[in-house]
Structure 1
Amino acid sequence: MFSATQRGHTLNGILLVALFAIAAYSISQTSWVMALGLSPLIVGILLGAIYGNTLHQNIPVEWHAGISFSARKILRLAIILYGFSITFQEIVSIGWQGVVLAAIVVATILAVGFWIGTKVLKMEPETALLTSAGSGICGAAAVLALEPVTKAQSHQTAVAVATVVVFGTLAMFLYPVLDGMQLFALSDKAKGLYFGSTLHEVAQVVGAASELPEIAQEYAVIEKMTRVLMIVPVILIVGWFMARRVTASAGKQSSLVASIPWFAVGFLAVAGFNSLDLLAREWVVAIHQLDTFLLTMAMVALGMETQISKMKQVGSSAFILAAILFVLLMFGGYFLVKLLGV
């Protein structure tokens, strides 16, 4: 795609995606979009899908390589840089209960979601896994991170992100209402851990916890980022599992090294580097902003590759699964926090 004859067309495709990402980022900063807790990533895939299903035929075929590059290569770089969003010191600060809580929530939602999705709802494994990851780990970012290792198609990724939009937004508005009715009999720390361990997106955690005491807000965000860190073992396990499935069907031995998604290792290495506090804070903030833009580009590109007709083939099963996981997160997460005695 970067040969002498194709390079210009590929760069044009990347530039087109970047322009849409700029628009998505600008829209996400408007007051009403921020009130809905919609991140630039979600706005990006919506814009990309709208364009991809209306004017996509007007894009020169030669530009498609640039769109594909944005959806895959830029995505991997963005996931690596996502490590600058977290430090190991923050993880330690929430105590063992917070780490155990995050691990149980992620493992349970993924396992239960995959089983219900594939066995009960008869969903494609990729769609069930991505939908469960969006609910259990960190919303759209988790869907994006697992997309390369699951080899999911663009419409499967888009459906999984759509479930995050619907149920993540619902939770963001519902939790403060329930808290205002004093239905959460939890301490400030426990309430923060509950919000952080059961809401979908980081932005939705921030929005839902904004009315809580400051200490609860801090615990909510750190607990959420602890779930984000869980994405590393999940990617490694899923990558190995998918590689094993492919090699088993081909009658070959699977290679552990070959199945490792190295961008996940890069994410962990960057998080470790960020924990050393070697970069000035303003540099970390700038890298985080760049990373958000790169993730938005990847979302736009995936949206451009998504066809509504293929999304319809998935049907309502992904939303039924997401609804079940939403209820499980709300009630199961609450009782789990109580059980841990936070």
Structure 2
Amino acid sequence: MTTAAPSRSSAPALASGGAIGNAMDPLLRLLPGLLISGALAAFAMALGRIGWLQDHGFSALTLAIVLGMLVGNTVYPRVASMSGAGVNFSKQNLLRLGVVLYGLRLTVQDIGHVGLAGVATDALVLGSTFALACVIGIRWLGMDRKTAMLIGAGSSICGAAAVMAAEPVVKARAEQVTVAVATVVVFGTIAIFLYPLLFELNRQWQLVPGGTDGFGIYVGSTIHEVAQVVAAARSVGPHAADTAVIAKMVRVMMLAPFLIMLSAWLARDDARRTVRMTSVPVANEHTARLEAPIKPKLAVPWFAFAFVGVVLFNSLNLLPPSVVAVTTEVDTILLAMAMAALGLATHISSIRKAGIKPLLLALILFTWLVVGGALINRWVFALIG
């Protein structure tokens, strides 16, 4: 008995069906992890709309990583094998897209609202805080470089969003990112309650000049998260809140050049370390380097350039406000999914291994932001006005 061969006309159809099936396979592999990350992100965003949580500076991003860790250390291991691809996609690809679209929250005009003094203050606070993180964390506390840099990025720029954006550049592990985000949550929450008290003290001492607006710049230039800035500044007054948010947005705009410079510095530092490791001893007790030239590998954060492009485009006011609002909401979803995926991939045991040093470093940086940030604000105001 013979079986009829498929007709020539059916062969293209079979080939087309196979091609479609091959194209769908990667999507099907990503789907379970994307659904889990999306569900946690949606729940976190719903919780983030609760008034009490908003008043205390708990954003959807912070809640997403907490929910992700709760699920990741309980029921998620049972389905990790089938959903791991989608979770990794959320943690990496959706994160980069979320950082790019974050630019729709900013405009170049924001710089004009705080003036040269506000920009200079933000730059000095950012640079000094990150430098302290590297010196104290790596050299004094003996921490691993990646964790210290992530804590420095979160403290000096914009909290969890900066930590997540710096992760691809420093090539950190999930638990290192989570430790850094945890420090932002702890000390950013403390700042919400501390800064209104500092405002009352500043009325008497006048350490931070400029009245309510000046204190708003101080808040925006020194508190970690955008949500925490809003919560702390609202307790001071509406004018302080407006100025604080603008100062914070200018600080967020510095994320892109920071990532580019960090990538270049890491590439140069890695090249120097490689040169030392490849040196060989010779008879006269000097060292001779291998002949092969060692070129630094620069991990260019292309999404940082895209972020700048979106900020510049948004500054032209070409998009209707409704489109910007919807896109910003989508961006929050993407970032929340990335944070939830990060929580899913984090094990509590890994955080325990990090010990007390990350919290100690974050405490030192927080103290610098409060005290040193006030001195920087005072010095810049006296110099520039």
Instruction: State the distance in 2 between where 1:189 and 1:128 align.
Output: 33
Which position in structure 2 is the counterpart of 1:33? Answer: 53
Once the two structures are TM-superposed, the CA of residue 250 in structure 1 deviates from its matched residue by 5.5
Once the two structures are TM-superposed, the CA of residue 60 in structure 1 deviates from its matched residue by 4.6
Cα deviation digits, residues 124-161 of structure 1 (max 9, x gap)? 11100111111110011110110111100000000001
Which position in structure 1 is the counterpart of 2:97? Answer: 77
Cα deviation digits, residues 212-233 of structure 1 (max 9, x gap)? 3433222111110111011111
Matched, 1:225 2:249: yes
Name the aligned partner's letter for residue 322 of structure 1: A
**What is the SS of the residue equivalent to 1:23?**
helix
Runs of 4+ residues deviating >4 angstroms: 245-251
Once the two structures are TM-superposed, the CA of residue 4 in structure 1 deviates from its matched residue by 4.3
Cα deviation digits, residues 261-315 of structure 1 (max 9, x gap)? 1000000000000001111112112111111111010000011000111111111
The answer on whether the counterparts of 1:135 and 1:326 sit within 8 Å (CA) in structure 2 is yes
Matched, 1:63 2:83: yes
Instruction: State the distance in 2 between where 1:320 and 1:211 align.
Output: 28
Residue 75 to residue 248, structure 1, CA distance change in 2 (3 Å): same
Instruction: State the distance in 1 between where 2:301 and 2:153 align.
Output: 17
Which position in structure 2 is the counterpart of 1:122? Answer: 142
Residue 288 to residue 6, structure 1, CA distance change in 2 (3 Å): closer
Which position in structure 2 is the counterpart of 1:234? Answer: 258
Name the aligned partner's letter for residue 291 of structure 1: D
Which position in structure 1 is the counterpart of 2:190? Answer: 170
The answer on whether the counterparts of 1:87 and 1:275 sit within 8 Å (CA) in structure 2 is yes
Based on CA coordinates, which of the two structures has the bigger radius of gyration?
Answer: 2
Which position in structure 1 is the counterpart of 2:295? Answer: 253
Name the aligned partner's letter for residue 311 of structure 1: I
Which position in structure 1 is the counterpart of 2:338? Answer: 298
Once the two structures are TM-superposed, the CA of residue 245 in structure 1 deviates from its matched residue by 4.2
The match for 1:270 among 288, 307, 310 is 310
Name the aligned partner's letter for residue 122 of structure 1: G
Residue 34 to residue 213, structure 1, CA distance change in 2 (3 Å): closer
- Count of aligned pairs between the two proteins: 339
Matched, 1:12 2:23: no
Name the aligned partner's letter for residue 63 of structure 1: S
Instruction: State the distance in 2 between where 1:246 and 1:107 align.
Output: 21
Instruction: State the distance in 2 between where 1:3 and 1:308 align.
Output: 37
Q: What aligned pairs does 1:129-140 form with structure 2 within 5 A after superposition?
A: 129-140=149-160
Residue 318 to residue 4, structure 1, CA distance change in 2 (3 Å): same
What is the RMSD of the two structures over their aligned residues, measured on CA atoms?
Answer: 1.6
Name the aligned partner's letter for residue 170 of structure 1: I
Which position in structure 2 is the counterpart of 1:96? Answer: 116
Which position in structure 1 is the counterpart of 2:74? Answer: 54
Once the two structures are TM-superposed, the CA of residue 211 in structure 1 deviates from its matched residue by 3.2
The match for 2:321 among 262, 281, 291 is 281
The answer on whether the counterparts of 2:234 and 2:240 sit within 8 Å (CA) in structure 1 is no
Matched, 1:202 2:223: no
Once the two structures are TM-superposed, the CA of residue 80 in structure 1 deviates from its matched residue by 0.4
Instruction: State the distance in 2 between where 1:184 and 1:39 align.
Output: 33
The match for 2:172 among 152, 163, 175 is 152
Which position in structure 1 is the counterpart of 2:284? Answer: none
Query: TM (normalized to structure 2)?
Result: 0.84
Once the two structures are TM-superposed, the CA of residue 184 in structure 1 deviates from its matched residue by 5.9
The answer on whether the counterparts of 1:184 and 1:191 sit within 8 Å (CA) in structure 2 is no
The match for 1:189 among 182, 188, 213 is 213
Query: TM (normalized to structure 1)?
Result: 0.95
- Percent identity among equivalent residues? 40
Which position in structure 1 is the counterpart of 2:368? Answer: 328
Structure 2: gaps of 5 or more residues: 1-21, 276-293
Instruction: State the distance in 2 between where 1:48 and 1:67 align.
Output: 11
Name the aligned partner's letter for residue 314 of structure 1: A
**What is the SS of the residue equivalent to 1:122?**
coil
Name the aligned partner's letter for residue 28 of structure 1: G
Instruction: State the distance in 1 between where 2:83 and 2:71 align.
Output: 14
